[in-house]
Structure 1
């Protein structure tokens, strides 16, 4: 009997070693296919927008595929950073990129509430997904995402990861990054947004089109209230700050006037005319149009 137990134990050990070697081999295979994470981050460039001027040299509008304006972490109000941590990754400073505990908590909260109240992926995972990978839903892509997530945590500090995330995250309407979103939705510099606005911005990336304050203000306000409630529950804001933020009034932007509509039509027409001689991605780096 002892020999049988010993034999089974030996087989189990050999099996575990074999599985470990197999997993290690798979990870190394995919890792070799990936570029160096640090090089990828440092060499990342965003195409500059093309600006349209009128005959007097005044800026009429900006033509872009992606509107993005980076900001340092120090320039972002503390309550804005706390809003993202509360709703997207409560244990950001405690885990190493992958947070099984946070995933289980988010699944439980989301099932209990009946909708996606909290994010299931860590901020580092979202950064890997949004900034460095395609959106293909394949096993290969998921493995690469996990490898990049671990590499990002190894190479960068938490502050650097959070800053990169806040500059990369998509808010809808072509706006990438927190600074651009503050300008686009509230016409403010990021340093000037208040707590309620910060909470609303933090709620948008979960579903950019569904929580876009320009198009669905009621949804955006409901989502903002959830973010504020999470911040209060975590102790990131006081009860007084929470109640004051709830009194914030938001006004839905008016429909564009006829002149603005004509300009928007022009913006749609211009790229089609020029695409025949040059790729649109190249246009984003140099084009200056007068009208």
Structure 2
């Protein structure tokens, strides 16, 4: 039994590949390495270099490896940049998902775990985001992930009475951080952890965008979850779909409590041993005070839980980044 991991050479996808191996599940990777890295794919894992927009390639890979399912992680994940590049975002995330579904149908592959995003909710004004909250995405990226969920649900309905009904679930999460393998680290130029790491390595002072939010310490609160925990939930979802278990259409992989940007900065100084006082910059337009999701449904069905403290999140990410620098 083999699972195709689209985007398996990326930061999250490469961790998913490792989590599948730990769960005793084989995998094959498709990635165009536009933002991923071939070196992130472990030795012995079949790697196909190409785009998910190539339906023939996706279908051929599914057939050649006798795939039992797909974990669809590939996509353009930069919410801010998606505002400037909406057509590119839709091509990668909406058309890409449609092509994957079409290839799956042609190859009679019926299990799908979709890497969605809590960006589908936009900026909800509630203490905890639950799965049934109205969806109001605030960027083309969030919209593209929501449309991807719609495409999957529509295909499931269309195939429900067929010999090969689509069985699926979508996993929504916010800020994925840390590392579960020193060979893999977050290379995004837009995420908080790598931004701070790069500043510290370059001798610059990290900055906080706004300290006058309606939160206990004045900095905004976000949902930070460890990439190893995220990857493990994907593997559990795959195993359960493969076993024929029924899963919910979507799950939040949330921290329940959240962390403020200042708490992250304090942990950065504490763990790295580099003392600094963050510079305070103006607020970014549209940044809400707090966005945190509950993970109760995922805890019930996907063995989801936060296994890492904030210091462990920082330490594992920092060690992986420094290991990469030393290579």
TM more than 0.5: no
Relative to the length of structure 2, the TM-score reads 0.20
Structure with the bigger RCO (C-alpha within 8 Å, sep 6+) is 1
Relative to the length of structure 1, the TM-score reads 0.22
Please say which structure displays the higher CA radius of gyration. Answer: 1
